[in-house]
Structure formats: C-alpha cells, structure tokens
Amino acid sequence: MTGTVPGPRAETASPPWQGVFARLCAVLLLTFTAFGSAVPVLPRLITDDLDGSGLAVGAAFTCSALAALLARPYVGRFAQRAGARPVIAAGTALAVVVGTAYGPAALLGTGAGTAALLAVRILMGLAEAAVFTAGSLWVVTLAPAGRRGQLVGWYGLAMWGGWTLGPVIGEALRREAGYGAVWLLHVLLPAAATVTALRLPPHRPGSGEPSRRLVPRSALLPGTALALAAVGYSALAGFAVLYLDDRGLGGGSLLLGLFGTAYIAVRLAFGRLPDRVGAARIAVVCGLLEATGLVMIALAPGLWVAAAGALVMGAGFTLLYPSLALLVIDRSAPADQGAALGAYTSFWDLGLGAAGLLTGAIAAGLGHREVFAAAALTAATAALAGGAAGRRRPAT
C-alpha cells in the first residue's frame, strides 16, 4: 500500500548512507539532550530565583512549542531548496546561542529576567524545528526505499533519547554544581553537534520547485491522525499517576516506564513493518492498539491490568509516527517532501497543545477515568484517519 518516490538513491551515495545516518542521529541526540537538560531546571529558576508564577513557567514551554509549530513548514521548504546540512548546522548553532543566553537572561532579575527567558525559549523552538525537520528530510532522501519507515522511526528515537537523558543530566548538574553547569552543557553539546553537522557531506534534496502550499495536501490526513493520537500520550503522561492514586492502586509512574520500554523495544525490533506490510495497515493497527491500551487502563480492576494496557499502548503508539510519516513521503512529490514533513510534524505540536486543554477540561468536569476513555476514542479515530490517508494515491 505504499509507493516509492523518485529521488536520490541511497545505494549510490558516497559516503555510505549508514555513516551519514549515524551522524545525523548523533547530531539530533546531542542537541535534544541539551534542550532536555533545561526542562527540570527552568521551573525552579523562574519560580525560585525570578519570583515568577506558574503561568510564567507554562509560558516558557508554550513559547518554544509554538515557535517550533509555526517554523517547521518554513524550515522544511528551505531545506528542500538549500539542502538540509546548512539548516541543521544553523539550528545547532542557534542552540549554542540559547545555552549562552540562559545565564545572562536569568541575571536580569524579576520581570525582565522572565521576559528574556521567554525570548530565549522562542529561539530554542526555532532551533528545535530546524534540526529535526531538516534532518528528517535528509533521512528520507538518504534511506533505501524499502527502509524509509524504519529509519524515520529510528531517527525519531534519537530525539526521544535526548528528551529522556537531558532532564536527568540537567537536574543532576543543577543539584551538584548549579545553574551555570547546566548552561555550559547546553553550549557544549550543540557545539559538538554543529561540528558534526558541518562535517557531513552535502545533501541533495529532490529536484523541482516546491509548491506554494504551506501545508501540502499529503500532510493533512496523516497529520490529523498524529494529532488525534497525541491525546492518548497526553492522557498517560498527565493523568496516569493521578488516576491510579484516585483508585488506590498507586504505581502510576510504572505505567510511564512500561510505555517507554515498549515504545523503544517495538520500534527497534519491528521498525520495518511499515515498509514491509504497508504504512496504512500498520497505522490502523497501531491506532487500534493505542485505543485498546487506553481502554485497559480506564477499566483496569488492578495495577497489573493497567500496566499491561501501558505496554499495549506503547507498542501501538511507537510505530504510528513512522507509518504516518511514510504515507506523507509516498504521497508527496519529491520537491514537496520538506514542506510536507515539516507540516506533518507540526500536527504533533498542535495535537499536544490541544490535548493538554482537552484532557484537563475532561478531568476537571468528568473525572480521570473519562480522560482515558476520551483518549481511546481519539486513538480509534486516528486509526480511521490513517486508513483514509492510505487510500490516497501515492505520488508518481
């Protein structure tokens, strides 16, 4: 059910695609570990040192997410025209600027310091969009046609690895050496990523003039499915602990760990399924697995049923992103792949933002069980949207 897209063939690339892919993953891991290192540190800095409010903390993270959301389609179009390497290097260099600016911004004190941090976070969102979106385009044009879904999935794992390692390292550095050590890490890691990016070979994207559409049609249905699936992740991350505590079961953090374990293991072991079986079929199965896991959590009579639900949910959720991305790739003209991938990834940002509001409103008005029931419904709808996306004809 998936087609192939004309473009540069990885088999004839020099140097071999495996080495380039490994370095792209290293750049992504280094940069996102730096980004992640600030996640547990900023709330303390804003509230304790700058006398900011919880609203200011939320705004700091919203600023970066909104900047990334808006920038991704433009970044994708530019990378399609100029090549991914300069865009990635610009993103990693901007991440160095972000790390350098955190300290001086915090020294401005109450009010001005918070405002400066928000400006820095906007730059961080732009850097995030540049590195991930341009790198995704490079992976698509680099990978052999029969492994695009797998390598897009593995590339995404490098990002998740950074978001996982970064907070642990950042909090440990803050506790042992203070904020300055965190900012230094936020300079050194992207600096190493910049050097690595600049030493990559030139990237040659597909030929042709990109369309003027900021959101190509090929990204609409897969992006909608991704946004709907994000509600389930938001429900688990935001309400698993609260829900199981309300039930007197405890162990909500176990669900998050099991979800992450299944997410990584299934993507590593079965990452080629979208390429081999068909991206639309796997997207449908994954959406239904996510929905099943959420229902198991909502109706669990005990902790271990909820834990099994988290495993099922993680196993389904992990291949949804690469499956839907493969649908976007196969249904985009080569000249539109950059913009399409950027727009598709923006749907994830949009979905997470909307999911936070939706799940919060449901929890406040109905209860925590209903959060998981609603998330199961949106996951099932994501499966339908993924199936519908697969019925569109591939680009030729």
Give residue limits of the domains in the chain: 10-198, 217-390
User: Which whole number is the average pLDDT over 20-46?
Assistant: 92
Distance CA(107)–CA(32), nearest Å, equals: 25
Q: What is the pLDDT of residue 339?
A: 81
Q: What is the pLDDT of residue 15?
A: 56
Residue range 156-178, pLDDT digits in tens = 899 988 988 888 899 899 889 99
User: Which whole number is the average pLDDT over 265-269?
Assistant: 92
pTM confidence score: 0.82
Q: What is the mean pLDDT of the chain?
A: 88
Does residue 103 carry a pLDDT above 50? yes
Distance CA(33)–CA(50), nearest Å, equals: 25
Does residue 10 carry a pLDDT above 60? no
| CB of 127 closer than 8 Å to CB of 92 | yes
Cα 34 from chain centroid (whole Å): 15
Q: Which of the four CATH numbers 3.30.70.580, 1.20.1250.20, 3.40.50.920, 3.40.50.300 does domain 10-198 have?
A: 1.20.1250.20
Distance CA(308)–CA(218), nearest Å, equals: 35
Determine the CATH number of domain 217-390: 1.20.1250.20
The pair of structure tokens assigned to 174 is: 């803050």
Could you tell me where the DSSP H helices lie in 211-272?
A: 220-246, 252-270
Angle among Cα 175, 105, 113 to the nearest 5 degrees reads: 95
Distance CA(133)–CA(79), nearest Å, equals: 8
